[in-house]
């Protein structure tokens, strides 16, 4: 499914990608409104699917490689690709919700990890710092930098806190396909890897663990979790590479508007 070579986008295509990406942020904000202790993850998924379809788009993940749902919902030690179902969200959980949309031929792909109720201080910091690492990485997502500069930004920031950086799962180009070239690892060396050029659109998605970075896959064929059982966080934005300053196509502003009202 991933294209062999980097697919460069023109301005019209970038605007379509922005529309799909913004819809992900709006969908996650709707989900945030009902994400509370006692809700089951299937209910979150159904809300997201209805909202996306009401906006003349289709869920980007459903059916992708056989994935059965609209959202990937990954709780606590689950890193990514958790399948929504009967599981009940509890007070103190951290809940990563990754969402994809497909509209006008282009994908949006963005993720946010939510603190539900009273989470531990170490979990709260893990979320805060993982999100901070995403924005540090975005600062590197400009013409003339390389993919390794992005990975280095995430890794160097997170490792100072003793966190792990998941190796097997990476960010990616995004466009007419959900996963395109280049791969965008969350670790790396400065000045290495693919050169960033105007017209590239990439998803940057740090997956950061409180303990060791080693992961395993559940028997469901999807859910990825830490081997040591410690929690993980995941934040993701879609970015168009520009000269001087990255153009973030997705947004957390709708989500954080909802969260700020809940406080
Ligand atoms: Mg994603
Ligand atoms: Mg992605």
Q: Please state whether 177 falls in left (phi above 0), alpha (psi between -120 and 50) or beta.
A: beta
- Taking the CA atoms of residue 58, residue 62, residue 68 and residue 71 in that order, the dihedral angle to the nearest 10 degrees is -80
In the reported structure, the alpha carbon of residue 88 is separated from the centroid of ligand 2 by a whole-number distance in angstroms of 25
Q: How confident is the model at residue 185 (pLDDT cuts 50, 70, 90)?
A: very high
Our count of domains for the chain comes to 1
In the reported structure, the alpha carbon of residue 204 is separated from the centroid of ligand 2 by a whole-number distance in angstroms of 7
What's the average model confidence in pLDDT over 166-190?
Answer: 98
Q: What's the pTM value of the predicted model, to 2 decimals?
A: 0.97
Distance CA 212, CA 77 (A): 11
In the reported structure, the alpha carbon of residue 189 is separated from the centroid of ligand 1 by a whole-number distance in angstroms of 24
Ligand lying closest to the C-alpha of residue 67: 1
Q: Which residues pair with 3 in a beta bridge?
A: none
In the reported structure, the alpha carbon of residue 79 is separated from the centroid of ligand 2 by a whole-number distance in angstroms of 13
In the reported structure, the alpha carbon of residue 37 is separated from the centroid of ligand 1 by a whole-number distance in angstroms of 24
Distance CA 147, CA 165 (A): 16
pLDDT tens per residue, range 49-67: 999 999 999 999 999 999 9
Using the predicted structure, report yes or no on whether residue 169 has a pLDDT greater than 70.
Answer: yes
pLDDT tens per residue, range 12-50: 999 999 999 999 999 999 999 999 999 999 999 999 999
In the reported structure, the alpha carbon of residue 201 is separated from the centroid of ligand 1 by a whole-number distance in angstroms of 14
Q: What is the pLDDT of residue 263?
A: 79
In the reported structure, the alpha carbon of residue 231 is separated from the centroid of ligand 2 by a whole-number distance in angstroms of 19
Task: Residue 242: give the domain boundaries.
Answer: 3-262
pLDDT tens per residue, range 97-134: 999 999 999 999 999 999 999 999 999 999 999 999 99
Distance CA 87, CA 171 (A): 27
Q: What is the pLDDT of residue 38?
A: 98
In the reported structure, the alpha carbon of residue 109 is separated from the centroid of ligand 1 by a whole-number distance in angstroms of 5
In the reported structure, the alpha carbon of residue 144 is separated from the centroid of ligand 1 by a whole-number distance in angstroms of 25
In the reported structure, the alpha carbon of residue 91 is separated from the centroid of ligand 1 by a whole-number distance in angstroms of 24
Q: What is the pLDDT of residue 85?
A: 98
Q: What is the pLDDT of residue 1?
A: 45
In the reported structure, the alpha carbon of residue 180 is separated from the centroid of ligand 2 by a whole-number distance in angstroms of 10
In the reported structure, the alpha carbon of residue 202 is separated from the centroid of ligand 2 by a whole-number distance in angstroms of 9
In the reported structure, the alpha carbon of residue 238 is separated from the centroid of ligand 2 by a whole-number distance in angstroms of 8
Backbone angles phi, psi at 242, to 5 degrees: -130, 170
Average pLDDT, the chain: 97
Ligand lying closest to the C-alpha of residue 180: 2
In the reported structure, the alpha carbon of residue 110 is separated from the centroid of ligand 1 by a whole-number distance in angstroms of 5
pLDDT tens per residue, range 138-160: 999 999 999 999 999 999 999 99
Give the single-character DSSP code of 65. G
In the reported structure, the alpha carbon of residue 84 is separated from the centroid of ligand 1 by a whole-number distance in angstroms of 15
Map 96-162 to HEC letters. Answer: EEEEEEEECCEEEEEEEEEECCCCCHHHHHHHHHHHHHHHHHHHCCECCCEHHHHHHHHHHHHHCCC
For helices 41-54 and 11-34, the axis angle rounded to 10 degrees is 140
Q: What is the CATH number of the domain that holds 22?
A: 3.90.230.10
Ligand lying closest to the C-alpha of residue 72: 1
Q: What is the pLDDT of residue 3?
A: 53
Ligand lying closest to the C-alpha of residue 171: 2
């Amino acid at each position: 499914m991933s294209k062999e070579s980097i697919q460069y986008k023109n301005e019209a295509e970038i605007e379509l990608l922005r529309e799909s990406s913004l819809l992900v942020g709006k969908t996650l904000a709707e989900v945030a409104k009902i994400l509370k202790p006692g809700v089951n993850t299937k209910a979150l998924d159904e809300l997201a699917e209805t909202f996306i379809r009401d906006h003349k788009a289709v869920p980007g993940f459903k059916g992708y490689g056989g994935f059965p749902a609209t959202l990937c919902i990954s709780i606590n030690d689950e890193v990514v690709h958790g399948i929504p179902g009967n599981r009940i969200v509890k007070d103190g959980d951290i809940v990563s919700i990754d969402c994809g949309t497909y509209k006008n031929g282009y994908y949006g792909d963005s993720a946010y990890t939510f603190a539900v109720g009273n989470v531990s201080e170490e979990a709260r910091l893990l979320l805060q710092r993982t999100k901070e690492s995403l924005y540090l990485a975005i600062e590197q997502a400009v013409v003339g930098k390389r993919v390794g500069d992005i990975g280095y930004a995430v890794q160097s920031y997170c490792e100072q806190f003793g966190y792990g950086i998941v190796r097997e799962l990476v960010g990616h180009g995004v466009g007419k396909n959900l996963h395109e070239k280049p791969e965008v690892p969350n670790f790396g060396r400065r000045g290495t890897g693919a050169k960033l050029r105007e017209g590239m659109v990439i998803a940057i998605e740090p997956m950061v663990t409180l303990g060791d970075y080693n992961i395993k896959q559940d028997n469901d064929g999807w859910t990825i979790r830490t081997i040591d059982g410690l929690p993980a966080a995941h934040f993701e934005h879609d970015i168009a590479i520009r000269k001087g300053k990255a153009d973030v196509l997705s947004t957390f502003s709708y989500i954080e508007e909802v969260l700020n009202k809940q406080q």
